[in-house]
Amino acid sequence: MKKLYNYIDGELVAPINGNYIDNYNPATGQVYSQIPNSDEADVSNAIKSARNAFESWSNLRNSERASWLEKISNRIEERMEELALAESIDNGKPLWLAKSVDIPRARDNFKFFATAIMHFASESHRTSSGIINYTLRKPIGVAACISPWNLPLYLFSWKIAPALAAGNTVVAKPSEITPMTAYLLSEICNEINLPKGVLNIVHGLGASTGNAIVTHDDIDMVSFTGGTTTGEHIARTIAPKFKKMSLELGGKNPNIIFDDCDFDKALKTTLNSSFANQGQICLCGSRILVQRGIYNKFRDAFVSKVKDIKVGNPMDDNSRMGAIVSKPHFDKVLSYVEIAKSEGGKVLTGGHQVQLEGDNSDGWFIAPTIIEGLDQQCRTNQEEIFGPVVTIQPFDTEEEAVEMANCTGYGLAATVWTQDLNTAHRMSENIKSGIVWVNCWLLRDLRTPFGGVKNSGVGREGGWEALKFFTEAKNVCIKFD
Ligand code: NDP
């Protein structure tokens, strides 16, 4: 059985306590590797190493740090097939998806921030003749980067790359449910001889290893992506220590489809925005709101297309959906179908496990599910399910659509489908979320601010926002005669 190592001080090392956690392949339900169950001693070594490396790393020229990031990016490109396979086995997502989205995006994250840091500049303010202010932007120190299981290497690198580019050193923890590509990233860092201590990767459970990292006195800032409850816990725990914090949390995103939309495009993209990655993307639209004039037509066409979605072995190119990431998550998603039924919801399609055969007979597969007949206040429409379960509901007016869109505690993303420019602009202004897509979904430009409002988080990632987060601004005011 393959055992993973921590990556601390430039070495691949076993956990000091010798304890390991089983790692499952969700498509087979079988344990296929073991990961370190690291404790405070491993965390402390990793943070010490990152602290020691900080001075020399932060004093490198931007171009030198950029060139290290480019080396990582190039090596990801060279190991693309292997990384995609590892991601698919670890997470249950279709291999074609890992090859076309996850790993290319991880490669691009390093490449993007390698170039971004070369263009990053700070401001200068001339107050009057003889008085000038300029802003120094300096790296902060040791950053904790904690990421979830749904887009493992994609989100891990989305934090690590800007943190390193800006001159910080990093202690990172992937989700214990999907540790494999983070481990392969540590191999890559070793292969390119990244200076020791610059990046440390510690594996283990969130509540113990993750908690030990974020609460450690020598961690200067925390960049966290995960669930709202975990984010709230972290915020409450570390707020008294005044660490800089960025929290990218859950969502319950509305997908609002007006009568005048381009019907075929809205239908095609809604299939994707509902069920891509088994519905396990924080940006997936889980509440589909359709204007009354086309409601029946859209619902019937949507149900018919969803019935055709093939749920299958992630290794099979014809599988549109793979496995749910873990048994507890599989149980959670199915439990929401029962909650929806008890709230009066009608399951239009799906709502059950998909039983595959052969090696996949013990895998955790769920049929894409559409539920109708629920109002927006019920638990099914208020709580994040984070799986292949969406609800569909009609609305009459634009005002009603805005009210429904904004009626949850979340505010991460929204999608609007209309051909009317005025409607598009008004909706974009009135929806309370960090991101609005109009007539599209998941088109990403890495320069744009990324993040949510309300319970969906605090702070923004992406482009300058990320580089600003990972640096501290200091104003220098100079008077001269
Ligand atoms: P969790 O909040 O359970 O975990 C996220 C990460 O935090 C994991 O690495 C976890 O470790 C770790 N962790 C858990 N407890 C602690 C703690 N006390 N201290 C430090 N670290 C801890 O989220 P999931 O992994 O279940 O991910 C799904 C969630 O992520 C969904 O809510 C989804 O919406 C959200 N998400 C948000 C995105 C955004 O950009 N806004 C993007 C993608 C996902 P371990 O897994 O080992 O327990």
Place of tokens 């086309």: 294
Are the C-beta atoms of residues 275 and 285 closer than 8 Å to each other?
A: no
Q: Show the tokens assigned to 431.
A: 């929806």
Q: Show the tokens assigned to 434.
A: 């960090």
What's the 41 CA to ligand 1 centre distance in angstroms?
Answer: 23
> What value does the mean pLDDT take over residues 94-108?
98
Does ligand 1 lie within 6 Å of residue 206's CB atom? yes
Per residue in 159-206, pLDDT tens?
999 999 999 999 999 999 999 999 999 999 999 999 999 999 999 999
Q: Check 282, 284, 398, 465 and give the catalytic one.
A: 282
Q: Which atom of ligand 1 is nearest to the CA of 251?
A: 34
Same fold, 2-249+454-479 and 253-438: no
Are the C-beta atoms of residues 69 and 110 closer than 8 Å to each other?
A: yes
**Fold of the domain spanning 2-249+454-479:** Aldehyde Dehydrogenase; Chain A, domain 1 (3.40.605)
> What value does the mean pLDDT take over residues 289-318?
98
Query: Across all residues in the chain, what is the average pLDDT?
Result: 98
pLDDT at position 95 is 98
Per residue in 425-461, pLDDT tens?
999 999 999 999 999 999 999 999 999 999 999 999 9
Does ligand 1 lie within 6 Å of residue 173's CB atom? yes
- Cα–Cα distance for residue pair 157/180, rounded to 1 Å: 14
Q: Which of 147, 175, 283, 446 to mutate to test the pocket of ligand 1 (most atoms within 8 A of CB)?
A: 175
Per residue in 202-236, pLDDT tens?
999 999 999 999 999 999 999 999 999 999 999 99
- Cα–Cα distance for residue pair 441/236, rounded to 1 Å: 33
Closest CA to 266 of 411, 387, 415: 415
- Cα–Cα distance for residue pair 87/81, rounded to 1 Å: 10
Closest CA to 95 of 320, 282, 388: 320
Does ligand 1 lie within 6 Å of residue 150's CB atom? yes
Per residue in 343-363, pLDDT tens?
999 999 999 999 999 999 999
Task: Report domain extents, the chain.
Answer: 2-249+454-479, 253-438
Ligand 1, atom 23: nearest CA belongs to which residue? Answer: 226
Q: Which of 20, 149, 203, 238 to mutate to test the pocket of ligand 1 (most atoms within 8 A of CB)?
A: 149
Per residue in 36-77, pLDDT tens?
999 999 999 999 999 999 999 999 999 999 999 999 999 999
Confidence of residue 478 (pLDDT cuts 50, 70, 90): very high
Does ligand 1 lie within 6 Å of residue 248's CB atom? yes
Confidence of residue 118 (pLDDT cuts 50, 70, 90): very high
Confidence of residue 23 (pLDDT cuts 50, 70, 90): very high
- Cα–Cα distance for residue pair 430/164, rounded to 1 Å: 36
Q: Which atom of ligand 1 is nearest to the CA of 148?
A: 25
DSSP code, position 194: P
| Full strand arrangement of the beta sheet holding 369-372 | 346-349, 369-372, 389-395, 285-291, 253-257, 413-417, 435-438
> What value does the mean pLDDT take over residues 89-96?
98
> What value does the mean pLDDT take over residues 10-16?
98
11 is catalytic: no
Q: Cα angle at 160 between 432 and 253, to 5 degrees?
A: 20
Are the C-beta atoms of residues 234 and 224 closer than 8 Å to each other?
A: yes
Q: Which of 282, 454, 456 to mutate to test the pocket of ligand 1 (most atoms within 8 A of CB)?
A: 282
Q: Which of 91, 150, 153, 213 to mutate to test the pocket of ligand 1 (most atoms within 8 A of CB)?
A: 150
SS3 429: helix
Are the C-beta atoms of residues 172 and 4 closer than 8 Å to each other?
A: no
What's the 347 CA to ligand 1 centre distance in angstroms?
Answer: 29
Does ligand 1 lie within 6 Å of residue 461's CB atom? no
The domain 253-438 is classified under which CATH number: 2.60.40.60, 3.30.300.130, 3.40.50.1820, 3.40.309.10? 3.40.309.10
pLDDT at position 225 is 98
Place of tokens 């709502």: 351
Complete DSSP assignment for 279-322: G-STT-EEEEEEEHHHHHHHHHHHHHHHHTPPB--TTSTT-SB-
Q: Show the tokens assigned to 235.
A: 């915020």
Ligand 1, atom 30: nearest CA belongs to which residue? Answer: 226
By residue count, the chain amounts to 481
Does ligand 1 lie within 6 Å of residue 214's CB atom? yes
What's the 225 CA to ligand 1 centre distance in angstroms?
Answer: 6
pLDDT at position 368 is 98
310 Cβ partners below 8 Å, 6+ apart?
Answer: 318, 319, 320, 321
> What value does the mean pLDDT take over residues 1-25?
97
Q: Is the sign of the CA dihedral 97, 101, 107, 109 positive or negative? A: negative
Are the C-beta atoms of residues 23 and 179 closer than 8 Å to each other?
A: yes
Does ligand 1 lie within 6 Å of residue 230's CB atom? yes
Please list, residue by residue across 300-323, b when 16 or more beta carbons sit within 10 angstroms of its beta carbon and e when fewer do: ebbeeebeebebbbbbeeebbbbb
Angle, in degrees to the nearest 10, between helices 62-78 and 180-191: 120
SS3 203: coil
Are the C-beta atoms of residues 183 and 13 closer than 8 Å to each other?
A: no
DSSP code, position 132: E
- Cα–Cα distance for residue pair 199/7, rounded to 1 Å: 8
